[in-house]
A and B are shown apart, each in its own frame.
Chain A
Amino acid sequence: MRKWTPYLLLIPTFIIIVIFIYVPAEYSIKASMQRILPFGRGTSYIGLTNFLKLFSNADYLYSVRFTILYVTVTVSIAIILSFLIALLLVKKIPGVKLFRTLIFVPYAISPAIAGALWTFLLNPIVGHVSYFFQVLFGIQVEWMTSKPYAFYAVVFASVWKTLPFNMIFYIASIQDVPEEILESATIEGANVMNRTWRIIFPMVSPITFYLVIMNIVTMMFSSFAIIDVMTKGGPGQYTTNMIYRLYLDAFYFQKPGVASAQSVILIAIMIVVTSIYFKFGERYVHY
C-alpha cells in the first residue's frame, strides 16, 4: 500500500496536466500538419508544409528575432533592477513595509489593465509621461506609434509588471542570507560592493535561476496582452513577437494550422531553453 500512496496523491495533478497540457499539445501537433478550412469545414494532411512556409516567411522570422531581443532586454532589466530594489527594501528603515506593499501593486494588476494604463500615460497628446518629456526635453514623443519608442514603451510596461514578482522572491531570499557571514565579511574589510556581488548575489543564485526561467516564460507567453493593448504589434509589425503573431494567425486570420505550427515551435524553444538552463544552472548555482 505504501508503494502506491505517492502515485495516488499525484493523480489529481496528473489529471489536470493531461487535460490542460498534454491533450492540447497533442492537438496542436496534429493540427500543425494540417490545412484547416474556416469553421472546421474540412481538414487535409499536408505534412510539414506549414513549418516550411513559416521559415520562409520574412514576417515570421522577424517576430522570432524580435522575441529574442525583447525577452533578453526585459528579463535582464527585470532581474537586475528587482535585485537592486530588493536590497533597499530589506534595509531596516521606517515605512519599509508600506513601500513593499505599494511596490507590489503592479503584480496584482492584470496585463491588459497594465497595458491600458501605460497607453494613457504615454499618450502623445494627453499622457503624463509625454507631458514631462515635453517640459523637460521639449520633444513630443509618439510612444506607441513610432520606432524605436514603441519598443521602449512595451519594455517599460513589461518590466514594470514583472518587477514586483521578482522583488518578493529576492526580499525573502536576501533576508535568509545569514547575518554572521555578512558581519564577518565586514570585519575582514569587505566593502559594500564586495558584500553585495561576492556574497549576497551568489547566495541568492537559486532564486535568480528560478526567476530567470519564470521571467522568460512570462515574457514569451504573457506579453500578449500588453502588446495587444499598447501597440497591436505595430507600427508596421515592429513590436509583433511570436505569441502575438500566433494570436493573429489563429484568431484574427482564422488559420489554425499555421498557428498550431507556431505553437509547436514555441514548445520546442521552451524545451531547449529550459534544458540548456538546467544543465548550465546545475554547474553554477549554489544551493
Chain B
Amino acid sequence: MKKIIFITFLIIVFLASSVTLAAEKTKVQFWHAMGGWRIELLQEMVNNFMALNPDIEVEVQYTGSYGDTINKLNVAVQSKVAPHVVQGYDIATQMLIDGEVGLVMQDLIDADPTFDIGAFMPQVLNYYRVNGKLYCMPFNSSNAIMFYNKTLFEKAGLDPNKPPKTYEELLEYAKKLTTKDDKGNVVQAAVCWSLNCWFFEQFMATQNAPLVDNDNGRTGRPTKAIFNSDAGLKVFTFWNDLTKNGDMINTKLEDWTAARNLFISQKVAMLITSTSDVALMVKSAQENNFELGSAFLPTPADAEAGGVVIGGGSLWIIGGHPKNETDAAWKFVKYMTEAPQQIKWHTGTGYFPVRKDAIEGLLAQGYYSGSPHDLTAILQLLLSTQNYNTNGAIIGAFAEMRSIVASNIEKMLSGSMTPAEALAAAEKAATEAIRNYEGL
C-alpha cells in the first residue's frame, strides 16, 4: 500500500513539474530547408541556444527543399498555423515581401539597440535590402565556385596550379581533359554543373549584365526580362559548345547531387557548384584520393568586370504571433547570426559567415591558411564589383523565370533550338511571367 501511495506521489510530482515547465517555456517553431548533415548541425546550434535560454523552446523542423518550405509556409499562413521563424530562399524574397507574411526585420533591428547591423557584410546586406529596408535576416549565404581535380589536371599534362579563367581557356583545357573510347563514348568529361538557372544568373553577373529592367528590379518593379543580350548569348553558346563537344555532362533539372557525384567519382575534372559544398568537397576529395583545387568562375575573355551574386537563404520572422513568442523568435534569429554561430556554420558547411567580425576572427586564428577553398569562396565575393547587376535581381515571379530559362537551356542542349533561339524564347516567356505576376 505504501508503495502505491509513493508511486502515485511521484507521478503527481512529475506531472505537476512538467506542466509548470511547459507553461513557463515560450515555444518557437523554426522551419528550414537544409538537408543532409546540415540538419544535425542546425539542431546542435539550436540546442546551444536553448541551453543559454532555458525559458525558450525551439522546435526545429526540416521542411524539404527551399521551394517546398515556401509552399508549406503558404499553406500554413492561410490556415493560420504559421511557424515563427522560416528560412526563405534568395529568390522568394520579393514574393514573401508581397505576401506581407513576415515582420519587417528592419523594424526589429531599429527597436533593439544591442544589435549592430554594421557588423554584417555589405555584399550580403545589399542583396537582401529591398527599397532600402531589410525584410529578413541574412543567415546562409553562398555563391557559385569552380572546383577542379588537380590530379586529373596533372594526368592530362596541365598545370594543376593554373585553373582556366576564361571560357576560351576552359574550352582549350577541355580538349585535353575530355577522353573518349574508340566508339566515341565519353569516358571522362572536362566539366559539369547541375542543370540550373542559378548558374546562368551567376554567369550573367560575372559579366556585369542584368536579368531584368529597372536596374534588376532594384529601383522599381521589373516589367520585362532583358537577358537576351550579348552576355546572355555568350553563356548559352558556351554551355552549348561544351555539351556538343562532349566536354560537359549535363544532369537532369536541378540535380545537384548527380553533378557532385560525377566530380567526386572523378568522371569529370571540373565542377561548378555552390560554395556551400566546400566542406563536403574537401572531405570527398580526401576519401577518393585526389587533390582538390578551387577557382573563381570563368568569364568570357572580353567580359566587363562583374562579380558573383549572393544566393542561399535568410531567416524570416512570421507575423501574427503573441508578443512574447515574437520576442523569443527575435532572440533566436539574433543568436543565429552572432559571430560564434556564424563561424560554426561557415566551417561546418561552406556557407559564408554573413558578418565581417566572424571572418576577421577566423583570419586571426589562421583558419584560412588551412582552408584555401573557403578563402577562394570569400575572396571571389569580396573582389566582386558591387552594383545592381551583382546585387542580384528582385523579381516576384523568379521561380517561374528560373524554370523557363532552365527548360529553354534543355531545349538548346537537346538540339531542338540554337542558343540564340533558346535565349530569345526564354526572354519572351520570362517577360510574360513577370507581367502576369505584376498584373500588367
Chain A contact residues, CB within 8 Å of chain B: 35, 37-41, 123, 125-126, 134, 138-140, 142, 144-147, 230-238, 248, 251-255
Contacts and interface: CB of A to CB of B under 8 A. Distances in A.
A39 B251 contact: no
12 contacts: A38-B74, A38-B99, A38-B396, A39-B99, A40-B77, A139-B183, A233-B253, A236-B416, A237-B411, A252-B400, A253-B433, A254-B95
Given A35-B439, A138-B183, A147 B99 contact: no
Contacts of A140: 185-186
Interface in B387-417: 396-397, 399-400, 403, 407-411, 413-414, 416
B71 to A, nearest CB: 5
Contacts of B252: 144-145, 230-232, 234-235
Interface of B: 67, 70-71, 73-74, 77-78, 95-96, 98-101, 183, 185-186, 195, 249-254, 258, 262, 265, 267, 396-397, 399-400, 403, 407-411, 413-414, 416, 433, 436, 439
Contacts of A251: 67, 71
Contacts of A134: 185
B272 to A, nearest CB: 17
A139 B74 CA distance: 46
Contacts of B100: 39, 41
B295 to A, nearest CB: 24
Contacts of A145: 195, 250-252, 410, 413
Contacts of B436: 255
Given A41-B100, A138-B183, A233-B407, 8 more contacts: A38-B95, A145-B195, A233-B253, A234-B407, A236-B416, A238-B410, A251-B71, A253-B399
Given A38-B95, A39-B99, A140-B185, A236 B74 contact: no
Nearest to A38: B99
Contacts of A253: 397, 399-400, 403, 433
Given A125-B267, A231-B252, A236 B408 contact: yes
Contacts of A38: 74, 95, 98-99, 396
Contact of B403 (A37, A41, A147, A248): A248
A61 to B, nearest CB: 14
A38 B88 CA distance: 14
Contacts of B254: 232
A121 to B, nearest CB: 14
B185 A40 contact: no
Contacts of B99: 37-39, 41
A65 to B, nearest CB: 16
Contacts of B411: 235-237
5 cross-chain pairs, A with B, having the tightest CB-CB distances, nearest first: A39-B99, A236-B411, A236-B410, A235-B410, A232-B253
Contacts of B413: 145, 235-236
A236 B414 contact: yes
Contacts of B399: 252-254
A41 B267 contact: no
Contacts of B250: 142, 145
Contacts of B407: 233-237
Given A235-B411, A254-B95, A39 B183 contact: no
A33 B379 CA distance: 51
A252 B253 contact: no
Nearest to B76: A39
Contact of B78 (A40, A248, A255): A40
B414 A39 contact: no
Given A134-B185, A252-B403, A39 B253 contact: no
A253 B398 CA distance: 8
A68 to B, nearest CB: 20
A255 B437 CA distance: 9
Contacts of A123: 258
Contacts of B400: 252-253, 255
A39 B186 contact: no
A126 B73 CA distance: 37
Contacts of B186: 140
Given A138-B183, A234-B253, A253-B400, A147 B77 contact: no
B431 to A, nearest CB: 14
Contacts of A37: 98-99
Contacts of B397: 253
B410 A252 contact: no
Nearest to A258: B436
A236 B265 CA distance: 27
Nearest to B397: A253
A234 B410 contact: yes
Nearest to A138: B183
A237 B406 CA distance: 10
Contacts of B70: 254
A21 B224 CA distance: 40
Contacts of A144: 252
